[in-house]
Chains A and B, each alone.
Chain A
Amino acid sequence: MLTQDQAASIFDRIRKLCSADEVEVHFSGGRFALTRFANNTIHQNVEEENHTVSVRTVFGGRTARASTNKFDEDGLRRVVESSESLAKVQHPDPDLLPVPDLREAEGESDKNSSTQPSRHFEQTAALTPRLRAEAVKKIVDVAQKHELTTAGIFSSSESVEGILNSRGLSRWHSQTLAEVSISMLGADSSGWQKANSPDVEILDPLRMAEIAAKKAVDATHPREIPPGRYSVILEPSAALDIVGFMFWDYSGMAILDQRSFLTGRIGTKLFGDNITISDDAAHPLQNGAPFDGEGMSRKRVPLVENGVVKRVVYARATAARMKQSEQRDKVGPIEATGHGFPLPNEMGEMPLNIVFATPQNPQTLDQLIASTERGVLVTRLWYIREVDPYEKIVTGMTRDGTFLVEDGQLRHGVRNFRFNESLIQMLSNIEAMSIPVRACGEESFDMVVPAMKIRDFNFTEVTKF
């Protein structure tokens, strides 16, 4: 693993090779291993180690980036030359700011933000192929006990991320992550569970396997019910996968580009009273580095309060542009929030540490089911894509455990549905929620999100299984 001291030494070598006005160097990489199983067999089992150094140079408002994974003298010389030759032929960017110094990057202490907890756990870093195989064996045993087959992954990683620049900024983050995803498959049904954590001891693969297996057994012989508007209970993974499609739009650059569904809507009540959302990298259930692509500290940003869209996030240059724009009085507070992507880029910034607030009267998943006269319980969503960018209609499918709920009880598995649903309408129709948990899916990034009970969810078609 690359250490912070080694990175500092490499940065010094790069500075000596560099003739630019300014230079910023990103480091990233680490060790990653993944044990993959299917048909009750480990069929793929991989491990890699790699680190990348990415050099951004600046000449009089011109900037560009080059990257390599070769840290020897030739490799560093080539990456500096590539970055400089690319930068020199750019047009000057009037919006480009000097690289931040440490004082600007760390900012004034934010009373709303807490210190980020350590996200590096030795027990996760120490996972071996044999330990992962032993866990997979137990998952397979659960599958065989229920006469099912199982497929999934058990992965572990140890990674670093760092930024150093020519104004003395130096930020470094190291962390671990373990992830387990389990599908249980019957002849005509399936169930699924997925979880991850920096601390592998938080994960309980055996319990996840039992839950996935129960779903597969309970969903046997799914029946077709007609598409239409239903009360729908989305488990947390399903909820995050669908709501994740709106967070690209909570960006100052998206507003300036007029590609956000929030254009003209900031300050308005867009969702139900019960929706309050923030972005908070320091939240104990969140993940990732405490700084953004320029090294700026990630601030806690309240995005939505009681259904009203309050503000969006900003990279430094986006905030400066917004302050000069005609929209500056209509977009809420404007300040660099520490959410920028590495420069140069077209997208600006995005909130990636979403936290839904705990509702006033949280309910367990069982309570959400028990209070439903007729509806559909959804375990997982799949292949979600945006249909309409301003009404925020998205389409996708249910998958791996879809059930009819009647009179407060799960009745039977049903064939999977296609939905076409406006996220604006969906977040206005939430009748009840659970306590938010750390959840992960496949279509969007991990977040802290509740299970949601939604009225009039729009299923438009049904598939063959």
Chain B
Amino acid sequence: MIDLNFRMRDLANWALDTANSRGASYADARIVSQRSRALTTKNGKVGSASDSESLGYSVRVIADGAWGFAASEDLSRAGVEATAARAVEIARASAKVKQHDIQLAPEKPVTAEWTTPHKIDPFSISVEQNIALLLKIDSELRSVAGITLAETNLNFNREEQWFVSSEGSDIHQTKYSAGAGYCAYAFAGNEIQKRSYPNSYGGQWQNKGYELIDELKLVENAHRIAEEAVALHHADQCPEGKFDIILDSSQLGLQIHESIGHPIELDRVLGMEANFAGTSFLTLDKLRTLKYGSEMVNVVADARQEHGPGLGTFAFDDEGVPAQCTPIVTNGLFTGYLSSRETAHTIGATRSGGTLRAEGWNRLPMIRMTNISLLPSEKPLTIEQLIASTDHGFLMQTNRSWSIDDKRYNFQFGCEIGWEIKNGKRVRMVKNPSYSGITTEFWNALDAICSRDEWTLWGTPNCGKGQPQQVMGTGHGAAPSRFRGINVGSAYKGS
């Protein structure tokens, strides 16, 4: 890694001094050093092996009441001063088309240091060891007859950031994250089936060190996952109709992401994302009036370490606001949005909710989900007890497809595998399970949530938003839950 400590203050002062001298009323600078490693295998061979590092900075300013932002890799004094001056010039251009001046909620400046708690630096583990693990998993997957494609992945990231502002904040944070997973495909006849572990689309991701990889029991589950992929070819098609469904915690995590996490982003609500990511059905009049879900539904946006090592865990957001826990849904009532210093006043808040984050040094921070989690039941309930209490329904596991409209009302999800439940017992495997609905109707149909022992804080590493688009990691805690009378099978309706 590049040692920047000795230069950070110089860089920051050059940026802030230039912005100030050019007339900015507010300025902040983020200097970010990123390192990542990605390893994959496919059918017994290393698919890709790559390391990357990137170092740069951005300067965000308010001038003439409008925003400007410029970013550069050029760390020279002349480069930094030119970038800061460019940010002010851009802000003055922005001011030509504005309806009102930017208004920032007050925030007390802080000086702080923070690093993701981790036991093992993931970059300290040899590449040989990592590849040996992936090839062992690959071998287990392909030992099952009928598997036609096996893919595995390991990913490690380290991001060190210095944030300084014209208000006096000086924050140094270092975040680690790790991710791992695999997928087994079975092609036969006119059908491709697949199973993934621990989750689809890259597996499980958390803000942890290498200890995450050890915890996931990757090898131990490989044979079962491969057998399920092959067995799906002999399973019946999931029927179409209204049924009770139980979602496993990973699928429920994505359901939370799409139908709660995105609609509560205040920038969407205010129309700032209307051209791309869309708006939200959660107009401001719905705060503390909308019955979002049944009384069992309690959802928080919690970026604090005590919530867990989610991809949305940090000490300060990217405009220097401390991590917080915001109640989003309280006993079914809609109670909170994700906000920033710029947007807080629109909901009568005197302080930002601390959710402004950027993908890297060259991207503008924007409102992003932190850890948006459905709290578990306080009464003990295992998934087996939940199944045992279900007369007739379907258990669906591991996401395969996901889609939701641009106001976050109508959604449809497909899962990799389903199980029909009759009289409290799993009676058969079904393939191609899917379900659909309207967000508020769905969450009001929730009637059971498993307890803490079944709760997992999942990581979604690929959340896209913004123009230019930014990819961000978000966290979603969930325990298996049951929903009554849901539309099942619509993905294959008419086909």
Which one of B163-171, B223-231, B244-252, B406-414 is at the interface? B406-414
For A70, the chain B residues whose CB sits under 8 A away are: 2, 53, 55, 73
Q: Which of B89, B190, B405, B414 contacts A397 (CB 8 A)?
A: B405
A296 close to B (CB within 8 Å): no
Q: Which of B56, B68, B93, B409 contacts A464 (CB 8 A)?
A: B409
8 Å CB contacts to B: which residues of A450-465? Answer: 458, 460-465
8 Å CB contacts to B: which residues of A82-140? Answer: 82-83, 85-87, 89-91, 93, 95, 128-130, 132-134, 136-137, 140
Q: Which residues of A contact B (CB under 8 A)?
A: 32, 34-52, 54, 63-70, 74-75, 78-79, 82-83, 85-87, 89-91, 93, 95, 128-130, 132-134, 136-137, 140, 149, 151-153, 155, 181-183, 185, 190, 192, 229, 257-259, 263, 344-346, 382-391, 393, 395-397, 399-400, 416, 418, 420, 422, 442, 458, 460-465
Q: Does B407 lie within 8 Å of A390, measured CB to CB?
A: no
Q: Does A185 lie within 8 Å of B48, measured CB to CB?
A: no
B307 close to A (CB within 8 Å): no
Q: Does B94 lie within 8 Å of A91, measured CB to CB?
A: no
For A185, the chain B residues whose CB sits under 8 A away are: 271, 274
A129-B40 in contact given A38-B275, A50-B71, A397-B403 (Cβ < 8 Å): no
Can you list 21 pairs linking A and B with CB atoms under 8 Å apart?
Answer: A32-B468, A40-B97, A43-B94, A45-B69, A47-B86, A69-B56, A70-B73, A90-B49, A151-B274, A153-B467, A259-B149, A344-B46, A344-B50, A346-B151, A390-B192, A395-B401, A395-B414, A397-B404, A399-B278, A418-B490, A463-B405
Given contacts A133-B93, A464-B281, 19 further A-B contacts (CB under 8 A): A32-B468, A39-B99, A41-B99, A44-B272, A45-B69, A47-B70, A47-B90, A50-B56, A69-B54, A153-B467, A181-B275, A192-B275, A258-B185, A259-B187, A387-B400, A390-B192, A393-B492, A420-B491, A464-B409
Q: Which of B67, B494, B495 contacts A44 (CB 8 A)?
A: B67
Cα separation A393 to B182 with both chains bound (whole Å): 24
B191 close to A (CB within 8 Å): yes
B47 close to A (CB within 8 Å): yes
B339 close to A (CB within 8 Å): no
Cα separation A188 to B447 with both chains bound (whole Å): 33
Closest-by-CB residue of B relative to A81 is B51
Q: Does B90 lie within 8 Å of A183, measured CB to CB?
A: no
Q: Which of B47, B51, B412 contacts A395 (CB 8 A)?
A: B412
Closest-by-CB residue of A relative to B467 is A153
Q: Does B93 lie within 8 Å of A129, measured CB to CB?
A: yes
Closest-by-CB residue of A relative to B91 is A45
Q: Does A382 lie within 8 Å of B187, measured CB to CB?
A: no
For A48, the chain B residues whose CB sits under 8 A away are: 58, 70-72, 362
Q: Does B69 lie within 8 Å of A44, measured CB to CB?
A: yes
8 Å CB contacts to A: which residues of B171-198? Answer: 185, 187, 190-192
Q: Which of A39, A396, A458, A461 contacts B272 (CB 8 A)?
A: A39
Most chain A CB within 10 A, of B73, B401, B403, is at B403
Q: Does B99 lie within 8 Å of A89, measured CB to CB?
A: no
For A259, the chain B residues whose CB sits under 8 A away are: 149, 185, 187, 192
Closest-CB distance, A420 to chain B (whole angstroms)? 5
For A229, the chain B residues whose CB sits under 8 A away are: 494
Q: Which of B73, B95, B487 contacts A51 (CB 8 A)?
A: B73
Closest-CB distance, B71 to chain A (whole angstroms)? 4
Closest-CB distance, A94 to chain B (whole angstroms)? 9
Closest-by-CB residue of A relative to B272 is A38
Closest-CB distance, B9 to chain A (whole angstroms)? 20
For A44, the chain B residues whose CB sits under 8 A away are: 67, 69, 272, 364, 366, 467
A67-B51 in contact given A90-B46, A420-B494 (Cβ < 8 Å): yes
Closest-CB distance, A347 to chain B (whole angstroms)? 9
Q: Does B190 lie within 8 Å of A390, measured CB to CB?
A: yes
Q: Does A385 lie within 8 Å of B276, measured CB to CB?
A: no
For A385, the chain B residues whose CB sits under 8 A away are: 401-403
B493 close to A (CB within 8 Å): yes
Cα separation A440 to B151 with both chains bound (whole Å): 32
B131 close to A (CB within 8 Å): yes
Q: Which of B67, B94, B271, B407 contacts A149 (CB 8 A)?
A: B271
User: 1/0 contact trace for B15-52 toward A, CB 8 Å?
Assistant: 00000000000000000000000001011011111111
Q: Does A382 lie within 8 Å of B406, measured CB to CB?
A: yes
B66 close to A (CB within 8 Å): yes
Cα separation A257 to B491 with both chains bound (whole Å): 25
For A34, the chain B residues whose CB sits under 8 A away are: 467-468
B7 close to A (CB within 8 Å): no
B74 close to A (CB within 8 Å): yes
8 Å CB contacts to A: which residues of B379-417? Answer: 400-407, 409-410, 412, 414
Cα separation A34 to B42 with both chains bound (whole Å): 38
For B97, the chain A residues whose CB sits under 8 A away are: 37, 40-42, 133, 136-137, 140
B119 close to A (CB within 8 Å): no
Cα separation A190 to B69 with both chains bound (whole Å): 29
For B436, the chain A residues whose CB sits under 8 A away are: 418, 460-461
Q: Does B405 lie within 8 Å of A43, measured CB to CB?
A: no
For B490, the chain A residues whose CB sits under 8 A away are: 418, 420, 460-461
Cα separation A387 to B400 with both chains bound (whole Å): 7
For A85, the chain B residues whose CB sits under 8 A away are: 127
B325 close to A (CB within 8 Å): no
B206 close to A (CB within 8 Å): no
For B42, the chain A residues whose CB sits under 8 A away are: 257, 346
Q: Which of B51, B401, B495 contacts A391 (CB 8 A)?
A: B495
For B438, the chain A residues whose CB sits under 8 A away are: 463-464
For B127, the chain A residues whose CB sits under 8 A away are: 85-86, 89
B108 close to A (CB within 8 Å): no
